[in-house]
Structure 1
Amino acid sequence: METSPAGPPHRLNPAGGCPHADNARLRALGAVAPVELPGGIEGMAVLGHDALREFLQHPEVAKDVRHFKALHEGRIEPGWPLLTFATVRGMTTADGDDHRRLRSLVSRAFTPRRVEGLRPRVEELTDTLLDGLAAAGDGAVDLRRHFALPLPMGVICELLGVEERFRDPLHRLSNLVVATGIEPEAVLAANRELLAVLGEMAARKAERPGDDLTSALIAARDEGGDRLGQEELIGTLMLLIVAGHETTLNLITNAVRALCGHRDQLDLVRAGGASWTDVVEETLRWDSPVSYFPFRYPVRDLTVDGTTIPAGTPVLAGYSAAGRDKKAHGPDADRFDVRRPARADAVRSLSLGHGTHYCLGAPLARLEATVALERLFTRFPDLELAVPETDLPAHAGFVGNSVRELPVRLGPRA
């Protein structure tokens, strides 16, 4: 039986915070729930694993902003913190032939075979960063800032041929672009600055092309025809840089937190009872690096798990909620268990997407996280949090899911 969502919408906290308590309350109301986005905009979130899997691959669900009803009715103000997610020109806001065209321009750089070829460089960069941690002494060190961030940022920037001087500004601006609790003026300023940095980066690469993905994208733009427009070039660079490091940064951070809080699970891995790949997969399920990802829009009124989602509604993919759905993962879904048996359909987690918009960088994120965790805990087997878990400052915003800092004590080296 079809139903409409009952009760007032849940107001997502723009400042962010740990999502799991809110997720549990929302899932108790159903697999699909109404939410209030910043600015009082009505939206929906799909929270149940099976419902989300169905929604992500539904043929009548679009990514193109032309389906965003509130935007075209003039109800979205300039500086709305989620506007970039909706309007950036790239594969995340394209459907059909446009999506296939844009994805094909970068997909060859992220095939499992190409990614595996990056393993030696990922290992080398990981060891260099660990040497830097060891040199820091016995005090507390922010593992997020000094390890979990520079590893994926370094890898994606090398793939794209990004000069060193652009990297810190790109990370700082990425943080602002994905934040949901900043003021409109700050949103507009961050977007202007990010576009300027990306434009300068692309212009310098056009003058001096190299053997990198940015040069290949510029060549596709300059060949003419309909392969790639200038806005799509900048949008694609933005997507690759933001998604190419923020997701893996959160994944590594969350995995370290999980293992520090579950030493029995860490001992299992060390004893050979589970693999580092198992740790990564369970972290993706249990503490997804992305909590609520914007946006998809039904092109007509759509019923998902018995709830009607009106056409043109901005819908969030509730990855962190789906990961702890007891209907999908069993009554112990809230427990971190690296030996959790696989689901019958082999879809353990939706955290990296599903369907045609499945995360292009998923193989790279998994490789980076697996190498990082194995080498980190091999080098520093007694690593522990330097503060109680409850004192870790939560991520700013409800899109990403992690903490802003991860102070640890490394302990003696192995």
Structure 2
Amino acid sequence: MRSRTTVAIDPTGADVYGEAERIRASGPVARVELPGGVRAWSVTGYEAARRVLADPRFSKDPRKHWTAFAEGTLDPAFPLIGWALMENLTTSHGEDHTRLRRLVTGAFTTGRMRGLRPGVEAATARLLDRLEEWGPDRAVDLKSRFAEPLALHVICDLLGVPQTMREDLFGGGKANTDSTLSSEETAASIERVHAIADDLIAAKREEPGDDLVSDLVRARDGDGSQLDDSELKGTVLLLVSTGTEPVKNLLANTLRELLLHPGHHAAVLNGGLALADVVEETLRSQAPVAHLPFRFATEDVEVAGVTVPRGEPVLIHYAAAGRDPSLHGPDADRFDPDREDKRHLAFGHGVYRCVGTPLARMEADVALSALLPRFPEMRLAVAPGDLRAQNTFIMNAPDALPVLLGGAAPRA
């Protein structure tokens, strides 16, 4: 018989998968308590999550469909209030979401990805040269020295963010994924990053370029009907955040899994295992986004035998859905690139599927295809048990990935 104990979410995300199993013990859709005492629903089942993600009766707009927020009864000190205050693709619904998505989707076409690839390859090569300078036996954090700067460079080049703004814009945007911050700390960070975004938008109005922010500004200023100012700023900030955090986590998680599984690592190096299979299995078993706020039922909706009342918040547990034993069997938590069925929801599903999926996949392919053969002797610099999760329940990756690179392979 299933337990019906409400799980209180740990804001530090110290044990994402252990917590997921405690939630799952109450069924694929279960009550949870968020930081600040806010009650919500968590969807851990794969099929239940697919249904919620595709069901138009679940909205992303808190202003219209989160009863406590819309009626002003939500405590303004709620630590995750920033997720309700954004105005972008993640907080829009229906026609508004369709309009915003249409403006952004064109930046991530297959053709544009082909055009971006040489720049990603060049950025990767520069970062690998810098890594080689660390030498074979000095520990280096691959997350902060490789995965993060690559992801930040690629998305900022696409958006047209000047070098002088990049670190501040990225640092401020991290506030929405650090679930240990207080509401005051989150508000201060959001205020700083909004000011930077205002400066960026003003610069693009003054001197537009061949970049996505300039395209969005032109759409806003063309007839005023495409984007309002809040949506424009919110969309820019969303793209910076979603173009960095999930990608760097995907890279860090993939590298960690290979270093924890030397047989798979060797198979990739000798061509016996396709890197694409490794990345796909990492997405399934180590989703870079773990537990994402928010959706809101626009009416009472029954999912997996549970009725989610109108106006209540719902979180999709992407990390848990990828390890659902009802889909992937009793070894769902095992990393196995040879697994035939690697279905997951790491990039979402339905109309809210991540528009940047082609870019993330391309970055992972370029970065890992260059890094792994460059440093074939690479190994962890710490014991596996010393790897710590990053300080959030929303994202899923090690906080750092210290490695010893070993000798670099000769270059042609």
* TM-score normalized by the length of structure 1: 0.95
List aligned pairs for 1:77-156, cutoff 5 A.
Answer: 77-138=75-136, 139-156=138-155
Which residue pairs with 1:327 in the alignment? 326
Which of 24, 28, 40 is equivalent to 1:27? 24
| Structure 2 counterpart of 1:214 | 213
Return 386-395 or 372-381, whichever deviates more. 386-395
Alignment of 1:176-255 (within 5 A): 176-255=175-254
1:35 match: secondary structure: strand
Query: Take 2:260 and 2:6, find their aligned partners in 1: how far apart are those partners?
Result: 33
The letter for the 2-side match of 1:7 is R
What is residue 298 of structure 1 aligned with on the other side? 297
Q: CA deviation at 1:77?
A: 2.9
Deviation string 1:55-102 (CA, Å, 9 cap, x unpaired) is 110121111111112213433233533222223111111122111111
Query: Which letter maps to 1:200?
Result: D
**Cα distance, 1:118 vs structure 2:** 1.5
**1:115 shift after superposition:** 1.2
Distance 1:216 1:113 in 2: 17
Distance 1:265 1:28 in 2: 32
CA drift of 1:182 comes to 1.1
Partners of 2:332 and 2:93 in 1: CA distance = 34
Change in Cα spacing, 1:355 to 1:293, as seen in structure 2 (3 Å) is: same
CA contact (8 A) 2:12 2:180 kept: yes
- Whole-Å separation in 1 of the counterparts to 2:96 and 2:183: 30
Q: Choose the corresponding residue for 1:387, options 375, 382, 404.
A: 382
Q: Quick one: which amino acid aligns to residue 144 of structure 1?
A: K
Tell me how far apart the structure 2 counterparts of residues 185 and 242 of structure 1 sit (CA, whole Å). Answer: 20
Range with bigger deviation, 23-32 or 232-241: 23-32
- What residue identity is the alignment partner of 2:317? G
Name the structure 2 match of 1:163. Answer: 162
Aligned residues: 406
Could you tell me whether the CA contact under 8 Å between 2:36 and 2:79 is conserved in 1?
Answer: no
Residue 272 of structure 1 aligns to a residue whose secondary structure is coil
SS at match of 1:235: helix
Q: Which runs of 4+ in 1 moved over 6 A?
A: none
State the Cα deviation string for residues 304-353 of structure 1 (Å, max 9, x = none): 1111111111111100001111111122211111111036xxxx110110
Equivalents in 2 of 1:412, 1:225: separation in Å? Answer: 57
CA contact (8 A) 2:173 2:190 kept: no
Judge conservation of contact 2:328–2:341 (CA < 8 Å) in 1.
no
In the TM superposition, residue 243 of structure 1 has moved relative to its aligned partner by 0.4
**By how many angstroms is 1:397 displaced?**
1.2
State the match for 2:361 in structure 1. 366
Question: Deviation at 1:28?
Answer: 2.7
| C-alpha distance in 2 between matches for 1:117 and 1:72 | 43
2:49 — aligned with what? 52
Return the letter of the residue paired with 1:394: A
The answer to whether the 8 Å contact 2:4/2:26 transfers is no
Asked if residue 41 in structure 1 is aligned to residue 33 in structure 2, the reply is: no
Shift in Å, 1:18: 3.0
Shift of 1:104: 1.1
* TM-superposition CA deviations, 1:210-250 (whole Å, max 9, x none): 11111111111111231111000000001100001111011
Q: Please state if 1:280 is matched with 2:279.
A: yes
Q: How far is the alpha carbon of 1:106 from its aligned partner?
A: 1.4
Q: Tell whether the 8 Å contact from 1:81 to 1:179 is kept in structure 2 after alignment.
A: no
Identity %: 44
Superposed CA offset, 1:341-369 (max 9, x none): 036xxxx1101100001000001001111
Of 402, 409, 412, which residue of structure 1 is paired with 2:407? Answer: 412
Q: Cα deviations across residues 96-142 of structure 1 (Å, max 9, x unaligned)? A: 21111111111111012321322111111111100010012230011
| More off after superposition, 263-272 vs 181-190 | 263-272
Picking from 351, 355, 360, the partner of 2:346 is 351
Secondary structure in structure 2 of the residue aligned to 1:149: helix
Give the AA of the match of 2:4: G
| Structure 2 gap segments, 5+ residues each | none
Contact 1:299 1:311 in 2 (8 A): yes
Matched residue type, 1:356: V
